Each structure stands twice: as structure tokens, then as C-alpha cells.
Amino acid sequence: MGRFEDKVAVVTGAGAGIGKACALAIAREGGRVVVADIDGSAAIACTAQIASKADRALASATDIADVHAVAALFETAERHFGGVDLLVNNASAMHLTPRDRAILDLDLAVWDQTLATNLRGTLLCCRQAIPRMIARGGGAIVNMSSCQGLSGDTAQTSYAASKAAMNMLSASLATQYGHAQIRCNAVAPGLIMTDRLLAKLDECTQRH
């Protein structure tokens, strides 16, 4: 028996990088996984890598900043797998310089889009997951924050602010729903050279 046997997980941003690694690990431990990503083809590719057992994984092309898309994601998880026990909020928007810069030079459209995905999107997913977890006797939520949410920097103001806010959202959620046997933790990794980050760095290099 794996640690996630008979459990259902929703992992956002699971088409690549940390999210994909989480989805694959949960599946290896016996869980059923809804692989959500704004890039539908990446979600399908991740799903194809998950266990050969039938009905073990499901792909969903989802923009987590869209309230209706998030509702549909969790309705699909409940319809196909019966509910939700685990949520990994990994989907994230990151704009490298020169767009996400110091405060006076910051593109406000970048600020709005970053917070819409990283903070609003996380909130929307939690709001859909919590009632379903309560119905199943509890659950666990992991919010993928960042070390950039713990200290200041000369750039990436929007990203850092969104991750700092995610930390407090996680603490609030744990305080408000711990009595319902729902755990919530924020994880703050450092820089990880995922394929998507490397592509962004290449793009910035080409511009300059």
C-alpha cells in the first residue's frame, strides 16, 4: 500500500517542473491524480507518464485565475474520482525582468496578472477543495510558495509579493480549517532550473 492509496489529488501547474514531479510521485504512491495545467498538451503528456493502471490520472487544461474554470476542474475531479483529498497549488506566473521590476518601474499589467494567478488562483482552488475535503473527513493542501516571498529583492516585486501573501493565506487556512482535519502548508523552494524557467531565461537573453 502506497502512502496515497485510495486518495485523490488535484495538482495545478502539473504539466512540467515541480508540479509534474509532485503528480508523478503521488501516482507512484497509489494516488489518483487530476493533472491540471494551463497548457493542455503538457497536462496530457504528464498523464501519459502516470501509472499504467486504468483510471489513475486525468488531464485538465485549466487557467486557475478563472473562477469558472476552477469550479469545472474540481467538479471533474469529483465526478471521475469521487472527491478530493489532496491539493497541490503549484501553478504560478513568473515574469522575469524587464517586466517584473522594482516598484517604480513595474508594469502594472504584470502585477495584476501575477497576483491573479499566484494568489487569486490559489484561493479559488482552496475554496473548491475545502468543502470536498470536509465531506471526506479531512485532507491536505500544499501551497508552493518561494524563498522570494521571505525576503526583499531588486526585482520581481509582483512575484515576491504574491508568494508572501500565499504564506499568510496558508497560515489562515490552517488556522480556520484545522478543526476539520485539513492541514495546509506552504513550501518555499529556492531557484529550480525547470524547463519552463530555462525557456524564459533564453527568451530574456535573446531580447538583450
Q: List active site positions.
A: 159
CB 39 within 8 A of CB 15: yes
Describe the crossing of helices 157-177 and 121-135 by its angle, rounded to 10 degrees: 20
Task: Evaluate the omega torsion of the peptide bond into residue 98 and state whether it is cis, within 30 degrees of 0.
Answer: yes
Are 89 and 19 a contacting pair, CB within 8 Å? no
Those residues whose C-beta lies under 8 Å from the C-beta of residue 148, and which sit 6 or more positions away, are: 156, 159, 160, 163
DSSP state of 92: -
Q: What is the DSSP string of 103-159?
A: GGG--HHHHHHHHIIIIIHHHHHHHHHHHHHHHTT-EEEEEE--GGGSS--SS-HHH
Dist CA 82 CA 125 (whole Å) = 17
